[in-house]
Amino acid sequence: MNIGITCYPAAGGSGVVATELGQQLAARGHQVHFIAYALPFRLDQFDANLMYHGVETTSYPLFKFPPYTLTLASKMAEVARNYDLDVLHAHYAVPHATCAYLARQVLTDCGGKMPKIITTLHGTDITLVGSDPSFYDITRFSICSSDGITAVSKYLAEETREVFKTHKDIRVIHNFFDPQRFKPGVCQCQRSEFIEEGEFLITHISNFRPVKRTLDVIDIFEKVSAELPARLLLIGEGPDTVLARRQVSKKKLNGRVRFLGNQTKVEAVLPCADLFLLPSEEESFGLSALEALACGVPVIGSSGTGLVEVVDDFKSGYLLPVGDTSSMARAAIALLKDTSRHAEFKKAAAHLALERFNAEQKVSEYEAYYQEVLDG
């Protein structure tokens, strides 16, 4: 198949999923065209079946805001026409599903071949951005105009039906990881680079948006480190990074917390960790949690979110109410103190992740879904 993929190229789960999917589809012999404003951040392998088409953001004194949506739609139409696309796959509805719709209208006018539009919903495109009154109608329209819709969890599919009051078929295809990259025990760095002998290493990876509750991560860590020798490794960057740094200083944790910023090869460090924290307000899936589990790292996160489909409560981690940092810290301390339970959780984490979310399986699900949509 000839497949166009549009995603946010910056660090973030939706871009990571789109990139991994594109790379895996290319490896299976499909021609894959990434259409985005920059090279996707984890697109780091050469494959003759992979192409990147950059989208310009044209500026003009009249434009306070350059109309990226229009240049993206034009580029989508151009790539679809020039490369005979069968499928145009938009990751993250806002504004990518709308751009795909516009591209199709452009192609209709030119009388060219019409690719099928598939939109994958990732999370805040529904729960925060898409449901904002200023985006609601156009997002609903664009999603409903897609030929196929997928969601990364059952939780998100249900949220979408509820928020957008639609009965459209939404196929759940869970996120996935590449077992060649994410595996337990193979750490490219040494634990000794981060911790002293006898200390525990706790990690958190996110885009440091308010929805991730990074301050809760620090609060949980403060409670844990009051009881156990531990250090916290924070990976990622975003609007709350400054707040998080301030909080670390305020709590006098500077010597125990390290900020690594954005990292493309998180698999190099994850297997070194003893525990992963993701206490988000909302989480449609929690790809970073899955990558941690795949590396044999138990997760403590928020219940009542899509994490329930990823983390097996009491088997590979603990899920507790949003904001209940005391319970999360208690669960972390108990798990880290109990060496044999911790070892069991580590084993279960890697095993369950591989069994349920490996790339091979999920990429086949996407391939089959593309075919189903193409067959009408």
Residue range at the interface with ligand GMT (CB under 6 A); choices 225-233, 242-250, 277-285, 295-303 = 277-285
**17 lines the binding site for ligand GMT (CB under 6 A):** yes
Min dist CB 282 to ligand GMT, Å, is 5
Residue type, 372: E
Q: Is 374 in contact with 116 (CB distance < 8 Å)?
A: yes
* Binding residues among 310-339 for ligand GMT as defined by CB under 6 A: none
Which residue from 2, 3, 4, 14 is in contact with ligand GMT, where contact means CB under 6 A? Answer: 14
Check binding of 353 to ligand GMT (CB under 6 A). no
What phi and psi, each to the nearest 5 degrees, are found at residue 213? 55, 55
Looking at 12-20, 47-55, 178-186, 330-338, which segment touches ligand GMT (CB under 6 A)?
A: 12-20
Element of type H or E holding 220: helix 214-227
By beta carbon distance, the residue nearest ligand GMT is: 123
- Contacting ligand GMT (CB under 6 A), which of 124, 139, 203, 225? 124
Q: Is there a contact between 298 and 342 (Cβ–Cβ < 8 Å)?
A: yes
- Round to the nearest angstrom and report the end-to-end CA distance of the chain: 15
Give min distance, CB of 149 to ligand GMT, in A. 14
Joined together, the tokens standing for residue 85 give 């696309």
Please state the closest distance from residue 288 (CB atom) to ligand GMT, in A: 7
- Counting residues that bind ligand GMT (by CB under 6 A) gives 21
Strand partners, 53: 35
Distances in Å between the Cα of 64 and the Cα atoms of 58, 72, 95, 98 are 11, 18, 18, 21
Site for ligand GMT in 208-237 (CB under 6 A): 209, 211
117: tokens are 């539009």
Region of residue 325 (left: phi > 0; alpha: psi -120 to 50; beta: else): alpha
What's the CA gap between 233 and 244, in Å, rounded?
12
**Which of 242, 254, 257, 247 shows the shortest CA–CA distance to 203?**
257
As measured in angstroms, the least distance from the Cβ of 251 to ligand GMT is 25
Per CB under 6 A, 19 contacts ligand GMT: no
CB of 17 vs ligand GMT, minimal distance in Å:
5
How near is the Cβ of 182 to ligand GMT at its closest, in Å? 14
Give the integer Cα–Cα distance in Å for 243 and 249. 10
Nearer to ligand GMT, 123 or 298 (CB): 123
Do 143 and 111 form a contact (C-beta atoms < 8 A)? no
Piece of 120-128, 234-242, 294-302, 326-334 that binds ligand GMT (CB under 6 A)? 120-128
Distance, in Å, from the CA atom of 195 to the CA atom of 210, rounded to the nearest integer, reads: 28
Q: Which residue from 4, 12, 40, 279 is in contact with ligand GMT, where contact means CB under 6 A?
A: 12
285: contact with ligand GMT by CB under 6 A: yes
**Nearer to ligand GMT (CB atom), residue 96 or residue 346:** 96
Instruction: Establish if 40 lies at the interface with ligand GMT (CB under 6 A).
Output: no
Name which of residues 151 to 190 contact ligand GMT (CB under 6 A). Answer: 152, 175
Contact with ligand GMT (CB under 6 A) among 20, 86, 282, 312: 282
For the chain, what percentages of helix, strand and coil (3-state, to nearest 5) are there?
45, 15, 40
Question: Is residue 13 within the footprint of ligand GMT (CB under 6 A)?
Answer: yes
CA 123 to chain centre: 9
Among candidate residues 303, 301, 299, 305, the one with its CA nearest the CA of residue 321: 303
Taking the complex as a whole, the smallest distance from the CB of residue 106 to ligand GMT amounts, in Å, to 27
Chain positions contacting ligand GMT, by CB under 6 A: 8, 12-15, 17, 122-124, 152, 175, 207, 209, 211, 280, 282-287
